[in-house]
Amino acid sequence: MTILIHLSDLHFGHAFVPQIGELILKEIADIQPEIVVISGDFTMRARHSEYAQARAFLDRITIPVLTIPGNHDQPLFAPIERLTRPMGRYAKYIHNAIDTTRATSGWFVAGLNDNRPILPGGFWSRDQCAWLARECANAPCGATRVLATHHQLDWAGKWRPAGMWYPARAREFLARCGVELVLNGHTHIPGAIQTREGIVIARAGTATSNRTRYGQSNSYNLITRDEKQISVFVRRYDERAHAFIAERAFTFARNDKFVNRNS
């Protein structure tokens, strides 16, 4: 069994809750997953000071980490920079490559930026799709192919909060690439489903900010995989215990077409 920890929507800045951030770091150190994936919104308003705090947080994680930006990681109060270099600050502080991959013995994770400086995010360019197809084709045998993106791939036809523009088309494309697991954040509401294509979609809540929604607490996802199933465990912050506790578990049978293709 291999373990992946999925965080999202840290929101460094005035919304960040330091004591919860410390608990997250302790959870990672205690669990020792193969990889940590952070699916965007490191900052609240993409200020340099917020990015510096996010960088200091990442520097305390000693295992492999894959990151992608979120819509909040584009400068809001620097419109020219937002139009000309929307991910410049992210590249300076977090990772110099916006679309990137990371492989471990059990996971092959590709991060794909779906944010746009003017239009609501939730789509990839043709070049990005071609890049992802190439990367997946060269993924190590036996590793589960994972895509991390910020906006939700399944949004039940609701426009607010906006998700992927063409979710059915995106799912079909990812299935052709052999992507078996998709990780996203954005809504601050955790959950997991399995699509008709057999893809497991895991959405993380806000791990460390006070911007919780609809009665949800801070949370993150702990994800495991073996030969037969993928399980998504939502770990919720319990204020009374000042600890993260197991809240919900979602278990999905792995689709044979992915297992055979990725073996």
Convert the pLDDT of each residue in 248-258 to its tens digit. 999 999 987 77
The answer to whether residue 12 scores a pLDDT higher than 60 is yes
- What per-residue confidence (pLDDT) applies to 48? 98
For residues 165 and 112, the model is more confident at: 112
The answer to whether residue 188 scores a pLDDT higher than 60 is yes
The answer to whether residue 162 scores a pLDDT higher than 80 is no
The answer to whether residue 179 scores a pLDDT higher than 90 is yes
Which whole number is the average pLDDT over 175-182?
A: 97
The answer to whether residue 154 scores a pLDDT higher than 90 is no
CB 194 within 8 A of CB 155: no
- Going by their DSSP bridges, the two strands 107-111 and 100-103 should be labelled as antiparallel
**Where in the chain does DSSP place strands (E)?**
2-7, 35-39, 65-68, 100-103, 107-111, 144-148, 181-188, 191-194, 200-205, 219-225, 229-238, 243-253
Structure tokens at 215: 């009665």
CB 206 within 8 A of CB 8: yes
Calculate the alpha carbon distances from 4 to 170, 180, 193 in Å: 23, 14, 17
Measured between alpha carbons, how far is 35 from 62 in angstroms, rounded to an integer?
A: 10
Which whole number is the average pLDDT over 218-232?
A: 96
Query: Which of 37, 39, 45, 47 is CA-nearest to residue 69?
Result: 39
- What per-residue confidence (pLDDT) applies to 164? 83
Per the prediction, the chain carries an average pLDDT of 94
- What per-residue confidence (pLDDT) applies to 81? 95
The answer to whether residue 66 scores a pLDDT higher than 60 is yes
Query: Three-state SS for 132?
Result: helix
CB 200 within 8 A of CB 182: yes
Which whole number is the average pLDDT over 59-82?
A: 96
Which whole number is the average pLDDT over 32-60?
A: 98
Confidence band for 160, pLDDT divided at 50, 70 and 90: low
252 alpha carbon, distance to own chain's centre: 19
Which whole number is the average pLDDT over 180-189?
A: 96
Q: Burial letters for 134-143: b for 16+ Cβ neighbours within 10 Å, e otherwise? A: ebbeebeeeb
Measured between alpha carbons, how far is 224 from 84 in angstroms, rounded to an integer?
A: 40
- What per-residue confidence (pLDDT) applies to 135? 97
Residue ranges of domains in the chain, CATH in brackets = 2-262 (3.60.21.10)
- What per-residue confidence (pLDDT) applies to 119? 84
Which whole number is the average pLDDT over 241-253?
A: 96
- What per-residue confidence (pLDDT) applies to 166? 85
Burial class (CB in 10 A: 0-12, 13-18, 19+), 100: middle
Measured between alpha carbons, how far is 37 from 64 in angstroms, rounded to an integer?
A: 9
- What per-residue confidence (pLDDT) applies to 1? 77
What percent of the chain is predicted at pLDDT more than 90?
86
- What per-residue confidence (pLDDT) applies to 157? 55
Query: Which of 180, 83, 68 is CA-nearest to residue 124?
Result: 68
